[in-house]
Structure 1
Amino acid sequence: MRDNIIVGLDLGTSKIACIVGDINRGNPLKMKIIGVGTTESHGLRKGVVVDIEETADSIRRAVEEAELTSGISIDSVYAGIAGGHIEGMTKSGVVAVSGKNNEITSTDLRRAIQIAQTCKITVDREIIHVIPQGCIIDDQERVKDPIGMYGVRLEAFVHIVTGAVALAQNIIKSAYLAGVSVENIVLQPLASGEAVLTFEEKGSGVLLMDIGGGTTDLILYEDNVPMHTAVLPFGGQHVTNDIAAVLKMPYAEAEAVKIEKGCIMMEMDDMIARSHTGGKRNTKAASQYILADIIQYRMTEIMGLVEQEINNNRLTFPKKIVLTGGTSLLTGLGRLVQHIFRTPMRIGYPGIENGLTDKINSPIYATGVGLVLYGGKQRRNGVDTSIKGNLFEEIYKRMQNWFKEYF
């Protein structure tokens, strides 16, 4: 595969999407989408692989379709990872500045980062990302790049994302059985943010909710830096299960009803008002009201879990919310989110203007497109993203790239 070709593989609970991008080395946002492959997902539950053979078959079909539309033979991908096993934590490391005349050097920063990332991680987990959040030099806060500055005490803050080793390996093996290698594993909300968030939103403060079939993925930005990440094991499929249980219908039929007629009850006022005939509510409108009530109940519960995640981590609620992912397309969900959080919101669409934009211009493809953009930035900076050899050295190389990217 040519160096300018990046492939993103979104492993969702309800669908698998393979996106092929022809990147612009100078500006990854100017990339051209040249291939798209989408297939129904089998073998995954709540964002994790539960059947390797079925997952591999789903990946194979998505990759083959992407190869047909792009005319490219795909051999490697950037794969997304999510699921309830994902954990994000913010840590810091403090060192005394050792440079001449108290000038901070890369060695000082390296030592601070090493201390910050030496948190207790069990043998069944691995580090997926180490994201710099800035430094404190003596009493000076919010220092973005400390190298070359002067001080006595340097404290570096990083956000560390970890996941279960076995579950990450299952992704790699499923892709291998499908005929492609995994160039890098990327946290899904981090990828989605690349596709749908603006630089201004990241700077002023924004919470991205990527609501898929099996999970709701969160990433909170402040000052253009990811401050918190989380994956909640609830999504659109839970809504479908509720509809199937309450209305006593098969899952497939419930999914079709959700997609075709699903909406949040707050959108029902005008419909219900127009549906009174002779003082009696129209039966069809009443059924629609029940459906909306089911959906609103579950989505309100998920929003409550989001609020709990923010509060439990003592985070400042951002100035804006962006929804993306397939479930974000539910009619009325935006109004419900605004009502609950009293915060401006919008639906996030991939910001790509070239290529097969008609095929990917949907929140459904936010993660897949974001994986290509993420990979494009890595290639632009000449970063080898695969972890091999000395783990800390590889993490530090990634950290250097993050500082270049964010600061």
Structure 2
Amino acid sequence: MATSVGESVVVGLDIGSTKVCAVAGRLVRNNKNQETLEVLGVGRTRMNDGVAKGSVVNVNNAVSAIHQVIDEVASQINMPIDRVNVSFNGSHVVSVKSTGNITRSSAGDEIQKEDIDHLLNDMYRTAIPADKEIIHVLPMDFTVDSEVNIDQPVGRNGVKLGADFQIITAQANAARNVRKCVVRNELTLDTMMLSVLASGLSVLTEEEKYAGVALIDIGGGTTQMAIYYRNVLRHVAVFPWAGNSLTSDIQLGCKIMPEQAEQLKKKFGSAVPADFNLNQVVAVPGLSNKKPKDVLIKNVAIIIEDRLREIAAMVQAEILRSGYEGKLLGGLVLTGGTAMISGIEPIFGRVTGAEEVRVGYPEHLEPNGRADLVGDPAYATAVGLVWAGYKTLDRRISFISDPVRAKYNERPTVERRPTPEPVVEKPEQMLPPEPERPQGEGFFDRLLKTLFPPKGSPTDTYE
């Protein structure tokens, strides 16, 4: 019997190119005293023309899809949902390495977490183009004075604190669109996290991240890669080819409609052409008044294999560029919906030369019916976003997003000047009557007349 660790329920919202899904869960402790995630609710709907290459391009369509899945989850957990952790993606996402440092005022005192927060805040103010936005600033190795390659600087003495950082940026409009989608559903955004980093929280082990591992998240619109080494994120890359590219290739190669190509990929998708004979054919319905078209399943497998080889080659080139070739003892972990294609692991192993390749499934889930629903690589990001409510990407830092921007409210506001109070004219009969006064004679007139009476007045006769 699992026991709850606190009462908080966390909701992860994954806005993908082909689907929007939400997962609600809470942290529990199982009978072995291990912390696991109890899945309480799951919602999923297809994304139609709302997201392209990982970026929200039609806010209205995305808002509608989010509303549907949030309502579905809220009805399952029997409570309103007002806060979410949301994924962020896009082929425009770029990771650059940068260095920053601060000079501390008290050299004799040990470095505190507040000093690291100060350094992080400075890095979020790094000058970037106006159309870009900094999504994450994540430290790699710290320096204290002349000492380098420090994993944890807190507790050390020194004047100058610095670090090498991964600065992850994206198009500002794309980030703004994600916030709009959340706010227009009357939700509060707790954390916005790059999808592959969220997936890592649900499918990677601490041992893999320490030994060195490349996580490859192959979604619908993009393939994302994150390299971990010594428990620290070292490299991030995003490629604009993924599951939808396979669908497009099948459509063009077999000369069929996109919907039919997607169905072929899901039902018969395999990257091992040798598994099929030349007489294995699928009849695909034709257009109106057209006869069905026969498609060789072997041809579909050849097309899928070729595209996956190209994606694997891009991954290998990026590993070489990162400088971690030969250091990834944990090998490759493939996740995302496309990772379920049969034969994908051998392809990535052959192309990249990695000895260890596995498909990553969400782990440490408390067994129940809903856990079975999300125990699929396609839900790795959504489950990871729930985990983000209970554990951090980097134990050394207090926040992974700009604290100033986290408080920013995207609700449309219009600056208005204060409206003056309306003046209501009362009827004359309701006004108090004014005292009667001689016309043209005020108080000072009467006072002067008393002190200096005019000649011929009654007062003058007593002089």
* Same fold per superposition (TM over 0.5): yes
Q: 1:371 aligned to 2:385?
A: yes
Which residue does 1:268 correspond to in 2? Answer: 273
Partner Cα distance (1:39, 1:128) in 2 = 26
Cα distance change of structure 1 residues 388 and 268 upon mapping to structure 2, 3 Å threshold: closer
Q: 1:34 aligned to 2:40?
A: yes
SS in 2 for 1:376: coil
Task: Please state how far the C-alpha of 1:119 moved relative to its aligned partner.
Answer: 3.7
2:316–2:351: 8 Å Cα contact kept in structure 1?
no
1:29–1:373: 8 Å Cα contact kept in structure 2?
no
TM-score (norm 2): 0.74
Q: Please report the RMSD computed on the Cα atoms of aligned residues, expressed in angstroms.
A: 3.0
Task: Please state how far the C-alpha of 1:383 moved relative to its aligned partner.
Answer: 6.5
Task: Please state how far the C-alpha of 1:177 moved relative to its aligned partner.
Answer: 2.7
Task: Please state how far the C-alpha of 1:167 moved relative to its aligned partner.
Answer: 0.9
Per-residue CA deviation, residues 349-386 of structure 1 (Å, 9 max, x unaligned), is 101321421111100100000001012236xx996877
Task: Please state how far the C-alpha of 1:159 moved relative to its aligned partner.
Answer: 1.4
Which one of 112, 124, 135 corresponds to residue 142 of structure 2?
Answer: 135
1:134–1:156: 8 Å Cα contact kept in structure 2?
yes
Per-residue CA deviation, residues 257-316 of structure 1 (Å, 9 max, x unaligned), is 00111111xx333x35xx4xxxxx536499222111111111111122222223334343
Q: 1:357 aligned to 2:371?
A: yes
More divergent stretch after superposition (203-212 vs 63-72): 63-72
Cα distance change of structure 1 residues 99 and 391 upon mapping to structure 2, 3 Å threshold: farther
Task: Please state how far the C-alpha of 1:390 moved relative to its aligned partner.
Answer: 8.3
Gaps of 5+ in 1: 276-280, 393-407
Cα distance change of structure 1 residues 205 and 305 upon mapping to structure 2, 3 Å threshold: same
Which one of 233, 253, 260 corresponds to residue 253 of structure 1?
Answer: 260
1:23–1:31: 8 Å Cα contact kept in structure 2?
yes
Which residue does 2:321 correspond to in 1? Answer: 312
Task: Please state how far the C-alpha of 1:103 moved relative to its aligned partner.
Answer: 5.3
| Correspondence list, 1:104-253, <5 A | 104=111, 109=116, 113=120, 119-137=126-144, 140-150=147-157, 154-253=161-260
Q: 1:331 aligned to 2:345?
A: no
Task: Please state how far the C-alpha of 1:154 moved relative to its aligned partner.
Answer: 4.2
Gaps of 5+ in 2: 1-5, 283-294, 408-463
Q: 1:297 aligned to 2:290?
A: no
One-letter amino acid of the structure 2 residue matched with residue 327 of structure 1: T
SS in 2 for 1:308: helix
One-letter amino acid of the structure 2 residue matched with residue 351 of structure 1: E
SS in 2 for 1:375: coil
Q: 1:80 aligned to 2:92?
A: no
Which residue does 1:402 correspond to in 2? Answer: none
More divergent stretch after superposition (320-329 vs 337-346): 337-346
SS in 2 for 1:148: coil
One-letter amino acid of the structure 1 residue matched with residue 343 of structure 2: G
1:236–1:327: 8 Å Cα contact kept in structure 2?
yes
Partner Cα distance (2:170, 2:60) in 1 = 22
Which residue does 1:278 correspond to in 2? Answer: none
More divergent stretch after superposition (297-306 vs 47-56): 297-306
Q: Relative contact order: is structure 1 or structure 2 higher (C-alpha 8 Å, sep ≥ 6)?
A: 1
Task: Please state how far the C-alpha of 1:120 moved relative to its aligned partner.
Answer: 3.0
1:334–1:345: 8 Å Cα contact kept in structure 2?
yes
Which residue does 1:345 correspond to in 2? Answer: 357
Partner Cα distance (2:156, 2:364) in 1 = 38
Partner Cα distance (1:231, 1:161) in 2 = 11
Task: Please state how far the C-alpha of 1:23 moved relative to its aligned partner.
Answer: 2.8
Return the index of the structure with the highest Cα Rg: 2
2:107–2:158: 8 Å Cα contact kept in structure 1?
no
More divergent stretch after superposition (113-122 vs 102-111): 102-111
SS in 1 for 2:156: coil
2:216–2:333: 8 Å Cα contact kept in structure 1?
yes
Which residue does 1:5 correspond to in 2? Answer: 9
Per-residue CA deviation, residues 152-176 of structure 1 (Å, 9 max, x unaligned), is 7543122111222211111121223
Cα distance change of structure 1 residues 156 and 386 upon mapping to structure 2, 3 Å threshold: closer
Partner Cα distance (2:202, 2:172) in 1 = 27
One-letter amino acid of the structure 2 residue matched with residue 325 of structure 1: G
One-letter amino acid of the structure 2 residue matched with residue 35 of structure 1: G
TM-score (norm 1): 0.84
Per-residue CA deviation, residues 20-73 of structure 1 (Å, 9 max, x unaligned), is 012359999523110000000121111111111111111111112112222221
More divergent stretch after superposition (338-347 vs 191-200): 338-347
Which residue does 1:321 correspond to in 2? Answer: 332
Cα distance change of structure 1 residues 387 and 120 upon mapping to structure 2, 3 Å threshold: closer
Using the aligned pairs only, state the percent identity.
32
Partner Cα distance (1:239, 1:305) in 2 = 15
